[in-house]
Structure 1
Amino acid sequence: MKLTLVRHSLGALAGLAALILLSVLFQPYRDFQLAQISYLLCGTAGLTIMTGLSGQISVGQGAFMATGAYTTALLTNHLRWGLVPVLLASVLVSMLLGLVVGMAAARLRGPYLAALTLALAVGFPALVDYRGLAGLLEGQNGLTVSASAPPLALGADFPPARWQAWVAGGCAIVTLWFLANLSRSRYGRSMRAVRDDESAAALSGIHVARVQILAFVVAAASAGLGGGLLAWVTSLAAPGAFTLNLSLGLLAGAVLGGLGSLAGALWGSLLLVLVSTWTSDLASADQLSPNVANNLPGVIYGTVLILVMIIFPGGIQHGLRRLFAWVTKIARDHRHGAVE
């Protein structure tokens, strides 16, 4: 366990170094995309752990991100909290919601569980128009969030987009570090046992419902952090950002990258941002009709999903591992042949 912790810590430090280097080399728009990838990575990584390790299907991850975003907006605007306590509060509030949903979800399986989380994803944006909350949450217009400026120690001319990339990327790396250690711990092994065979896990002394609730809480906490970062980066917490499309996109990203693989969550988040940017650029082309432009993003997303599933049935990360093993085997065979 100690060696695993050291290895993951060294990986996190390498990730921080890569983040700083990339943000310095990138232009402001690319830094903004890097921040986008980071907060989506938080939500996708939590979903990867819940679905890939514990075997629970959820299409409600966007609702947990919305919880974190609105918590960030309310605490920033009304209580003037700093960025760090605001993000911690967003994680805590999302964890509490995840605990409630997880306790209900522990009694459900298969399509019934998917239906519960689907109702959560569809119903949460509608809450902003509820009579008792519309005034507090500003309805469909949402809440404006004032992003904190870069520290003065970085210089008066330090680019705000680079600061956002550093904060969001650092939070994503910390999330990956925590989830990686969790997946290698006793709780991670319990999740795998429950995923593979609930009856066998229960007979071996594992409290199945408790493990499933823990998976929901962890996924909700990761999504809450991602939602808080989203509100801080985009300066807005509005229901339009947390529709069913977001939840489905996070699930697609986890599947594309490879369920159960945190590296796969990174690939999935990267695809979500880059494909979205590409489709938006194509849809805004002058020569396209409005009907084609409105349906083009869905067509491209579906095409990418189909192609990845055909080329890499187990996800991008699994496919890259197999490709690396194949190339290594060929190189080893060629070296042995040369020696003989």
Structure 2
Amino acid sequence: MAILVTGGAGYIGSHTCVELLNAGFEIVVVDNLSNSHPEALKRVSEITNIRFASYFIDLMDRESLDHVFKEHKIDAVIHFAGLKAVGESVQNPLKYYHYNLMSTTTLCEVMEANGVRRLIFSSSATVYGLPKQVPIDEGAPVGAVNPYGRTKQMIEQMLQDVVDANPGWSVAILRYFNPVGAHESGRIGEDPNGVPNNLVPYIAQVAVGRLAEVSVYGDDYETADGTGVRDYIHVVDLALGHLKALIKLEHATGVHIYNLGTGRGYSVLEMIAAFQEASGRPIPYRITGRRPGDVAVCYAETTKAAAELNWRAERGIAEMCRDSWRWQSMNPRGYRTPEPVAQT
């Protein structure tokens, strides 16, 4: 029995593939490579010393997707695939609504046609919008404020409707906070297209010399140092949360929603200082004005995941920055960095 991983060549997907293989699961990867690189899967195989099937197809290619299900005995699906840049979603909302909603619809239809009804969905804390209080628990109101977040919110509702109509389905919705870090080997990590949208990969590219300085958006928030506070979670902890969710779904039907975060926040300046410590490099930064829609503090309530999944984040800020720097320093241009030439 195999686990189908959509978007398995991506940042979170590739790390989850490593943990699945290390735990003894068979995997099959589907990825259209629109925001990922096939080198990531090659390195997953090297890290684990395990080979696995990969298909570079689009989820909306129903015929090819159905062939994957026919070719392999799929037991469950972990669904990472989707467009994910908040800024781009604001500029091109139709692209996001079309792809994220339609690809998930097609996936669920093909799953149902092949008798596969166990699904873990990669959602996001963006569904909470502008939280009225912290920590944010799973019962907090949802109200995403950008098209990317709204697609996640709509898919969550769609999956609830699917389960209501088909009680045999088992669905775990995992709401991520801010994934950072990389595999301890330095072989796989976050490789954003273009200028990074997220803080830590931006800091890493400043440290390695690809970017000049970090822009800090606002230093007048009601926080200890005036900069925004967010819940950063190591990507390996996040990946392990998916394994715990798989185990949960073996014995549970219905929809189960979990926050995956650390339950505490770090400010922008704390992250810059921690990365300077990890890298030994100065991280120049410049204070600019606040961005519209940013909140002062955002972090997760994680007691539900601890109680029901027996999962909690184990890695702290030092490990997050250390592993991010190892990845970035070993791969200054991401997966496009040429492999080192053996010296003779």
- Regarding TM over 0.5, the answer is no
Q: Which has the larger radius of gyration?
A: 1
Q: Report the TM-score, using the length of structure 2 for normalisation.
A: 0.28
Higher helix share: 1
